């Protein structure tokens, strides 16, 4: 019979103490002696090499149900994410649970710290909407080892349940709509660069231009911050181009609202002089002037689906891994019109 790999075996392979191995696996900081990234890397590499798995029975004995779940959200200033929160909270309340929120302000280091902080607390499950999953390899590996109920948006954690926001179809519909209206210079406000959120939308934008025989010009894509003010600044940069774009797409509705303000500042009429569109269909979108053309993601339903997956996993840990795809679709309103002559 093959001997079970223990934390002591991992400690010997990594050249650290057993306590350090335990701290890394449970995402604890190490108390008075902080765990360096190099130490964390060595421990997780040893775990992979030896095939260590935490003892399920011991883990169950250590943690009874707390009737608390955690939700990691990128941006407290974006109404789309508050829609997700509302959906998660509604299902959480139905199950008699409490919800703990952590916001990361779209900052990589804050996302890492928040993820570690949630992992250290005794919760029955986590829902993770990550912005920079590629920078969190060690933290995500440790979470996977811990076991427990986890749902991610985008399927960024192998072996865990996921809800995937499929913006591809809606993005293609939006680009076909604008190209069909005769627009050939279409600007794109991407918001924060080098992040997972929004990457699919930008990819489809470039692909649609190439399919139409148009160049995907770098100066037509603006990277900026996540706020309304950033969207305004990004749109003004696009409107300073010669020739300027006749349509601007925001990676979300906040960026598009910034573009509406930029058009007003430059004396441009929307949609007569400039078409504007966004993504997410936040609650304000139909009430803007003009009402905003956007790609509806159904943020509250996305949150509900993620929470339902999580509670299914809490109630039956042996279920097969599940993935729910949530397609987005175009909603045409008054902010887009024919390309001006």
CATH value at residue 243? 3.40.50.2300
262 and 118 belong to one structural domain: no
25 and 133 belong to one structural domain: no
Tell whether 336 is covered by a domain: no
Q: Worst-scoring range by mean pLDDT, 32-41, 49-58, 169-178, 179-188?
A: 49-58
175 and 194 belong to one structural domain: yes
Tell whether 339 is covered by a domain: no
Please give the Cα distance from 163 to 193 (Å, whole number).
23
258 and 208 belong to one structural domain: yes
Please give the Cα distance from 11 to 23 (Å, whole number).
11
Tell whether the model's pLDDT for residue 55 goes beyond 60.
Answer: no
Task: Grade residue 2 by pLDDT with cuts at 50, 70 and 90.
Answer: low
Query: How many C-beta atoms lie closer than 10 Å to residue 2's C-beta?
Result: 4
Domain count for the chain, please give it: 3
Task: Grade residue 61 by pLDDT with cuts at 50, 70 and 90.
Answer: very low
Tell whether 341 is covered by a domain: no
Among residues 298, 316, 335, the one where a domain terminates is: 298
Task: Grade residue 34 by pLDDT with cuts at 50, 70 and 90.
Answer: confident
pLDDT the model gives residue 279: 96
Q: What is the pLDDT of residues 251-270, one digit of tens each?
A: 999 999 999 999 999 999 99
197 and 308 belong to one structural domain: no
Task: State the chain's mean pLDDT as an integer.
Answer: 88
Tell whether the model's pLDDT for residue 322 goes beyond 90.
Answer: yes
Tell whether 74 is covered by a domain: yes
Tell whether 335 is covered by a domain: no
CATH code at position 31: 1.10.260.40
136 and 239 belong to one structural domain: no
Q: What is the pLDDT of residues 107-141, one digit of tens each?
A: 888 988 888 888 888 889 999 998 887 777 777 77
Tell whether 58 is covered by a domain: no
192 and 278 belong to one structural domain: yes
List the one residue out of 254, 234, 223, 204 whose CA is nearest residue 81: 254
Tell whether 142 is covered by a domain: yes
User: Domain of 48?
Assistant: 7-53
293 and 303 belong to one structural domain: no
The model's pTM is 0.79
List the one residue out of 43, 44, 19 whose CA is nearest residue 32: 19
Among residues 281, 298, 315, the one where a domain terminates is: 298
285 and 190 belong to one structural domain: yes
pLDDT the model gives residue 268: 98
Tell whether 229 is covered by a domain: yes
pLDDT the model gives residue 288: 98
**CB-CB contact of 273 with 336 (8 Å):** no
107 and 147 belong to one structural domain: yes
Q: What is the pLDDT of residues 159-218, one digit of tens each?
A: 889 999 999 999 999 999 999 999 999 999 997 765 666 888 999 999 999 999 999 999
pLDDT the model gives residue 195: 61
């Amino acid at each position: 019979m093959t001997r079970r790999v223990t934390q002591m075996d991992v400690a010997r392979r990594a050249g650290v103490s057993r306590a350090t191995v335990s701290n890394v696996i449970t995402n604890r900081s190490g108390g008075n002696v902080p765990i360096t990234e190099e130490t964390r890397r060595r421990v997780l590499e040893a775990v992979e090499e030896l095939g260590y798995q935490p003892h399920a029975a011991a883990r169950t004995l250590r943690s009874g149900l707390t009737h608390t779940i955690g939700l990691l959200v990128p941006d407290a200033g974006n109404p789309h994410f508050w829609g997700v929160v509302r959906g998660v909270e509604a299902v959480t309340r139905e199950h008699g649970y409490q919800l703990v929120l952590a916001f990361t302000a779209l900052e990589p280091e804050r996302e890492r710290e928040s993820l570690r902080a949630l992992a250290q607390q005794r919760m029955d499950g986590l829902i993770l909407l990550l912005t920079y999953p590629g920078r969190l390899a060690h933290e995500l590996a440790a979470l996977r080892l811990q076991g427990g109920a986890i749902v991610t948006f985008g399927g960024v954690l192998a072996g865990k349940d996921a809800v995937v926001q499929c913006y591809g179809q809606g993005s293609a519909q939006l680009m076909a709509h604008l190209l069909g209206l005769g627009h050939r210079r279409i600007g794109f406000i991407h918001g924060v660069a080098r992040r997972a959120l929004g990457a699919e939308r930008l990819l489809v934008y470039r692909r649609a231009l190439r399919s139409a025989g148009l160049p995907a010009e770098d100066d037509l894509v603006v990277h900026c911050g996540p706020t309304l003010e950033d969207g305004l600044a990004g749109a003004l940069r696009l409107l300073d181009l010669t020739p300027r774009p006749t349509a601007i797409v925001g990676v979300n509705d906040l960026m598009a609202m910034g573009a509406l303000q930029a058009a007003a500042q430059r004396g441009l009429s929307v949609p007569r002089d400039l078409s504007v569109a966004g993504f997410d269909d936040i609650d304000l979108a139909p009430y803007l002037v003009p009402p905003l053309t956007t790609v509806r993601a159904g943020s509250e339903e996305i949150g509900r689906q993620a929470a339902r997956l999580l509670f299914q996993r809490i109630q039956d840990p042996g279920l097969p891994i599940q993935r729910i795809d949530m397609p987005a679709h175009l909603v045409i309103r008054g902010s887009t019109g024919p390309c001006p002559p």
